[in-house]
Structure 1
Amino acid sequence: MKEKLLLMIPTTYMNESGVAVMEFVNYYKIDLKDLLIVVDDFNIPLLTFRLRLSGSDGGHNGLKSIIYHLQTEDFARLRVGIGENGEKKDKDFVLGKMSSEEHRKVVDRGVSNLYTILENGFERSMSIINKKEK
């Protein structure tokens, strides 16, 4: 695999992340069909990942900002479940810390999913990632 991979973590507040993503996309001249946004989602159970090629913000303030600044919903996003059985949680839960074991599992599964995407592309990876169980 000889593809160039760029990773970026915005240093802005989440609801301002669209500014950073827009500047990143413009600076590196990234085609939105090659863009993947990874976000946490407390409406999805822990260790569950959902890959979509486009869609709404789903109530996620970071995605809302990105959609606003890119002026499109047409970019891939990988939602990382951080919830407990998909139950909606409050701000304190979202801003709280995971146990080190949970964190390790989320990172390991996330890295595995990113390799899946790099090896198979977005379309094929959706069926692989979205059907994985805990």
Structure 2
Amino acid sequence: MKYLIVGLGNIGAEYADTRHNIGFDVLDALAGASNAVFTTARYGDVAEVRWKGRTLVLLKPSTYMNLSGKAVRYWMDATKVPLEHLLVVSDDIALPFGTLRLRPKGSAGGHNGLKNIAELLGTEEYARMRFGVGGDFPRGHQVDYVLGRWTDEERAAMPERLKLFGDAIRSFAAVGCAQTMNFFNKK
């Protein structure tokens, strides 16, 4: 069985280590823990991880955040992954730092990357895992905040949070969304 795991972020060195790129960071950590290597392919960087008889195709789109749907649609078709085996990892300013929230479907919640994916897939019925990045910014400064760098405190907590998210992704592939939600959404 194949699963498409998409980490949202923006390409380019100026976006590395920013809150908005946490989807890329989660996939980098999962690939690193599995000794998988990303290669540049059409519409993104791709790596494969094997887990309990399943193949996880990890995708970091190269289409920029707000156009992520094009890469997701292409890779779903190319790998013949059904919609129920798609998981998208993104940042969420409505959740405290490091919070994991997995849902089997839902709205974009103002996230332009998720909005574009729903638009190109023609549905919001796909699983998404949100990484809380907090929302401690003055009114009108959301863009500066999500494109800003992590604090020293957040950076220190990152290895443990990234491992937890990797474990949740493996669980999603092994036991499905409902059981993974029950176990990981409380952590």
Say whether the fold is shared (TM-score over 0.5). yes
**Matched ranges for 1:24-43 at <5 A:** 24-43=75-94
Give the equivalent residue in structure 2 for 1:63. 114
Bigger relative contact order (CA 8 A; separation at least 6): 1
Code of the aligned partner of 2:161? V
Give the equivalent residue in structure 2 for 1:17. 68
The worse-fitting range, judged by mean Cα deviation, of 67-76 and 96-105 is 96-105
Code of the aligned partner of 1:104? P
Candidates 147, 164, 172, aligned match of 1:95: 147
Q: Does 1:130 align with 2:185?
A: yes
**Alpha-carbon offset, residue 84 of structure 1:** 4.8
**Alpha-carbon offset, residue 13 of structure 1:** 1.4
The worse-fitting range, judged by mean Cα deviation, of 70-79 and 89-98 is 89-98
Distance between the aligned counterparts of 1:21 and 1:103, measured in 2? 26
User: Does the CA-based 8 Å contact 1:57-1:64 persist in structure 2?
Assistant: yes
Query: What percent identity do the matched residue pairs reach?
Result: 38
User: Does the CA-based 8 Å contact 1:47-1:105 persist in structure 2?
Assistant: no
User: What is the number of residues matched between the two proteins?
Assistant: 131
- Residues 95-128 of structure 1 deviation map (CA, whole Å, 9 limit, x = unaligned): 1111431432332221122233233211111111
Distance between the aligned counterparts of 2:161 and 2:63, measured in 1? 23
**Alpha-carbon offset, residue 26 of structure 1:** 1.1
Q: Does 1:106 align with 2:158?
A: no
User: Does the CA-based 8 Å contact 1:42-1:81 persist in structure 2?
Assistant: yes
Distance between the aligned counterparts of 2:146 and 2:120, measured in 1? 24
For normalisation by structure 2, the TM-score amounts to 0.65
Higher percent of residues as strand: 2
CA RMSD of aligned residues (A): 1.9
Change (3 A) 1:31 1:65: same
User: Does the CA-based 8 Å contact 1:47-1:109 persist in structure 2?
Assistant: no
Distance between the aligned counterparts of 1:2 and 1:18, measured in 2? 28
3-state SS of paired residue (1:56): coil
Candidates 168, 171, 179, aligned match of 1:116: 171
Q: Which structure 1 residue ranges, 4+ long, deviate > 3 Å from structure 2?
A: none
Consecutive unaligned residues of structure 1, counting only runs of 5 or more, are: none
Code of the aligned partner of 1:113? A
Distance between the aligned counterparts of 2:135 and 2:158, measured in 1? 14
